[in-house]
């Protein structure tokens, strides 16, 4: 019996040992898998999307139902700033196909993210809410994915307030310790313009992980956006990010861009670090050429660009054509500039063309007569796309000044007039500039319309009434209809409040009435009274003195000039 008992005990011990070894093996495998996924997530954080995609594809090839790896594979497709409609479609198909097999809340949130990018806001929200409901609101990864989808800077259709709500919910769950959630929360706050809470969120991420480079980088970006006077602060945070993670590529890319136009040597230094820590792709060739451009080597940049385009045919990186256009612009070759912009617009996705690209293309088109209509459409497109009022005004003003310098005053006035519509609160100068250019361009009725708007908005200013009078006088040049009378009378009424400030407007109005009463009403006494008023303001005024001499002349045909005074 003892022998049998010993054998039984030995068998049990062997079985326990095997089970223990199996459990240890599973733990090791799971740990390795987790480490691999974390490495892939770090690739995405560092904007190494190609490496991330390859890694997650490798994981899925051996573990086809790993929903976390599937989710992040989809993210590696849709997060790059040059993601194409095909990339979105591929990511959505991946999520949907795997969701049919694996009912994963995370993949459901992933589908919602793609739909949000597609502009299907209601469908996206339904998927987000379903993912939260099925996970009972207790899955940090699900809440984080929804928060990022809505709160990241590139999410045009995302709801940042919704993102803040869900990310806060994630931070309240047990065992929460993910700095990525807090950085996404900071991004959402920053998206709504709440820089204070954004910085607090980024700092909270650093409290969890002092070496989380993305958090320091984001703090630096906030201070950098505040402009001059903050350089020491944001550079300190960029230095911390680089020290915490020397492989964190975005900070090098940002500093390359920052020094691009001011310090080519430093830009080159950060460029090398950026490329070293990034995946080699078609954008790399573009940035190498852009460095030549920054150095003022425009012909060399063009040659490099042409090599890049040839090597990447038939689908070269679209920005290569934009850079080529800029290089030709620097070389003052308008024809080649226009040709390159046309290629850029042909290759680039419409939603990735920046407003200033439309403006640059348009301004070059305007240099060649016959392109005014096409250029105008491009400027209008830029104004419609840009959400910043000051940018809109700058585009319109640049175009107006282009025509004004070339003495095409009617065209200039049309563009100045658009500034009035684009501004929430147009100034007196904005309105009067448009009206004055209509007047100079001979579009007198349009000048009257604009100055009437000015007089309604600024009723105490005699300038607008004076210009209404001058424009009316230009239409009714014989004065027989008296079209200008009321405007000049109002000019005199307002001008008398400050005869020094409004001297020019008063003189112009008095001279009109000298001519009107002398020639139309045949009332020389009234005409002489206005001459006296004019001379009381300026006894040396040559025109007023000539009017006086004419009125006093015994010759019956002598009378003041019936035509409007010279255009101001």
pLDDT in tens, 12-36: 555 555 544 444 444 434 444 556 8
Residue-level pLDDT at 3: 47
Q: How confident is the model at residue 77 (pLDDT cuts 50, 70, 90)?
A: very high
Contact 291, 268 (CB under 8 A): yes
Answer whether 316's CB lies under 8 Å from 309's CB. yes
* Per-chain mean pLDDT for the chain: 90
State the residue for tokens 């491009």.
378
Cβ atoms of residues 242 and 251 within 8 Å: yes
Helix 282-294 × helix 319-330 angle, to 10°: 10
Under the banding of pLDDT at 50, 70 and 90, the label for residue 544 is very high
**Residue 357 Cα distances to 291, 302, 341, 375, 380, angstroms:** 19, 18, 8, 12, 12
C-alpha to C-alpha distance for 125 and 165, rounded to whole angstroms: 14
Torsion 285-291-294-299 (CA) sign: negative
Q: In angstroms, rounded to a whole number, what is the distance separating the alpha carbons of residues 22 and 74?
A: 32
User: What pLDDT shows up at residue 102?
Assistant: 83
Distance CA 16, CA 22 (A): 10
3-state helix, strand, coil in the chain (%, to 5): 75, 0, 25
Can you state the angle between helices 213-225 and 249-259, rounded to 10 degrees? 20
Q: Residue 126: what pLDDT?
A: 97
Given a cut of 70, is residue 5 above it in pLDDT? no
Rounded Cα–Cα distance for residues 182 and 169 (Å): 11
Q: What percent of the chain has pLDDT over 70?
A: 91
Average pLDDT score over residue span 405-410: 96
Inter-residue contact 407 to 399 (CB < 8 Å): no
- 10 falls in which pLDDT band (50, 70, 90)? low
CA trace torsion 339, 345, 346, 351 (10° rounding): 180
Say if residues 429 and 463 touch (Cβ distance below 8 Å).
no
- What's the pLDDT tens digit per position in 116-141? 999 999 999 999 999 999 999 999 99
pLDDT score of 559: 55
Alpha-helical regions (H) of 135-263: 140-151, 160-171, 179-191, 195-208, 213-225, 231-244, 249-259
The contacts of residue 353 (CB under 8 Å, 6+ apart) are 344, 345
Q: What pLDDT is attached to residue 82?
A: 78
| Structure-token pair, residue 170 | 């994630």
Would the pTM of this model clear 0.75, i.e. be above it? no
Map tokens 């820089």 to a residue. 195
| Cα 269 from Cα 176, distance rounded (Å) | 39
pLDDT at 568 (0 to 100): 30
Q: What confidence tens digit (pLDDT) does each residue in 334-388 have?
A: 999 999 999 999 999 888 899 999 999 999 999 899 999 999 999 999 999 998 9
Give me the pLDDT at residue 240, please.
97
Nearest to 218 by CA among 188, 187, 245: 187
Place of tokens 């147009």: 426
Tokens at 417, concatenated:
């007039």
Q: What is the percent of the chain with per-residue pLDDT over 90, rounded to a whole number?
A: 81
Q: Whole-angstrom distance between the N-terminal and C-terminal Cα of the chain?
A: 126
Q: What is the DSSP-derived secondary structure letter of residue 567? A: P
Please say whether the beta carbons of 334 and 300 come within 8 A.
no
Q: For residues 533 and 526, is the Cβ–Cβ distance under 8 A? A: no
Tens of pLDDT along 421-472?
Answer: 999 999 999 999 999 999 999 999 999 999 999 999 999 999 999 999 999 9
Dihedral sign computed on CA atoms, order 272, 277, 280, 284 = negative
Among residues 405, 465, 398, which one has the least CA distance to residue 440? 405
Average pLDDT over residues 37-54: 95
DSSP state of 348: S
Residue 42 clears pLDDT 80, i.e. is over it? yes
How does pLDDT run across 270-295, given as a tens digit for each residue? 999 999 999 988 788 999 999 999 88
Per mean pLDDT, which range of 136-150, 175-189, 219-233, 413-427 is the poorest? 219-233
pLDDT tens readout for residues 310-343: 998 888 999 999 999 999 999 999 999 999 999 9
Under a CB-based contact definition with an 8 Å cutoff, are residues 268 and 290 in contact?
A: no
Average pLDDT estimate for 195-207: 97
pLDDT, residue 206, reads 97
Q: Which pLDDT score is estimated for 103?
A: 86
List the domain boundaries for the chain. 460-568
Cα-Cα-Cα-Cα dihedral sign, residues 264, 270, 273, 276: negative
Of 64-78, 284-298, 469-483, the least confident: 284-298
What's the pLDDT at 27? 42
By the 8 A CB rule, do 50 and 73 touch? no
Answer yes or no: is pLDDT of 8 > 60.
no
What single-letter DSSP state applies at residue 350?
A: G
DSSP element (H, E) containing 360: helix 355-366
* Region for 426 from its dihedrals, namely left if φ exceeds 0, alpha if ψ lies in -120 to 50, beta otherwise: beta
């Amino acid at each position: 019996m003892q022998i049998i008992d010993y054998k039984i005990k030995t068998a049990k011990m062997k079985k326990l040992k095997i089970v223990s070894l199996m459990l240890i093996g599973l733990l090791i495998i799971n740990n390795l898998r987790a480490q691999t996924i974390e490495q892939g997530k770090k690739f995405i954080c560092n904007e190494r999307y190609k490496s991330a995609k390859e890694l997650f594809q490798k994981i899925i090839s051996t573990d086809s139902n790993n929903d976390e790896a599937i989710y992040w594979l989809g993210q590696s497709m849709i997060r790059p700033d040059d993601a194409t409609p095909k990339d979105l479609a591929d990511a959505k198909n991946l999520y949907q196909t795997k969701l049919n097999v694996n009912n994963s809340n995370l993949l459901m949130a992933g589908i919602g993210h793609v739909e949000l990018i597609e502009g299907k806001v209601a469908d996206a929200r339904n998927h987000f809410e379903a993912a939260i409901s099925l996970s009972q609101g207790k899955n940090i990864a699900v809440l984080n994915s929804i928060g990022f989808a809505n709160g990241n800077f590139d999410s045009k259709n995302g709801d940042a307030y919704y993102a803040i709500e869900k990310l806060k919910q994630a931070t309240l769950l047990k065992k929460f310790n993910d700095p990525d959630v807090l950085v996404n929360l900071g991004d959402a706050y920053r998206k709504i313009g709440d820089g204070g809470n954004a910085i607090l969120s980024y700092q909270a991420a650093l409290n969890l992980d002092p070496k989380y480079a993305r958090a320091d980088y984001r703090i630096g970006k906030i201070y950098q956006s505040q402009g001059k006077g903050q350089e020491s602060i944001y550079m300190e945070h960029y230095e911390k990010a680089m020290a915490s993670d020397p492989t964190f590529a975005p900070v090098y890319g940002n500093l390359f861009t920052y020094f691009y136009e001011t310090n080519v040597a430093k830009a080159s230094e950060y460029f090398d670090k950026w490329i070293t820590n990034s995946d080699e792709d078609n954008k790399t060739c573009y940035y190498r050429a852009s460095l030549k451009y920054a150095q003022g080597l425009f012909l060399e940049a063009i040659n490099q660009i042409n090599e890049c385009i040839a090597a990447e045919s038939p689908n070269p990186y679209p920005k290569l054509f934009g850079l080529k256009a800029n290089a030709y612009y620097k070389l003052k070759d308008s024809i080649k500039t226009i040709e390159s912009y046309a290629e850029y617009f042909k290759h680039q996705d419409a939603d990735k063309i920046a407003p200033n690209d439309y403006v640059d293309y348009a301004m070059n088109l305007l240099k060649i007569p016959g392109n005014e209509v096409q250029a105008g459409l491009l400027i209008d497109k830029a104004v419609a796309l840009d959400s910043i009022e000051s940018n809109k005004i700058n585009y319109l003003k640049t175009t107006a000044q282009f025509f004004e310098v070339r003495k095409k005053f009617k065209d200039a006035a049309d563009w100045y007039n658009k500034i009035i519509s684009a501004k929430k609160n147009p100034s007196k100068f904005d309105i009067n500039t448009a009206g004055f250019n209509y007047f100079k361009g001979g579009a007198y009725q349009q000048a009257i319309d604009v100055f009437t708007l000015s007089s309604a908005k600024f009723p105490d200013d005699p300038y607008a009434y004076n210009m209404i009078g001058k424009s009316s006088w230009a239409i009714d040049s014989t004065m027989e209809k008296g079209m200008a009378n009321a405007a000049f009378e109002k000019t005199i009424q307002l001008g008398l409040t400050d005869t020094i400030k409004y001297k020019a407007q008063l003189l112009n109005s008095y001279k009109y009435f000298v001519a009107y009463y002398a020639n139309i009403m045949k009332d020389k006494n009234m005409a002489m009274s206005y001459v006296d008023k004019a001379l009381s303001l300026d006894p040396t005024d040559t025109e007023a003195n000539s009017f006086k001499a004419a009125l006093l002349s015994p010759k019956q045909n002598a009378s003041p000039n019936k035509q409007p005074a010279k255009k101001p």
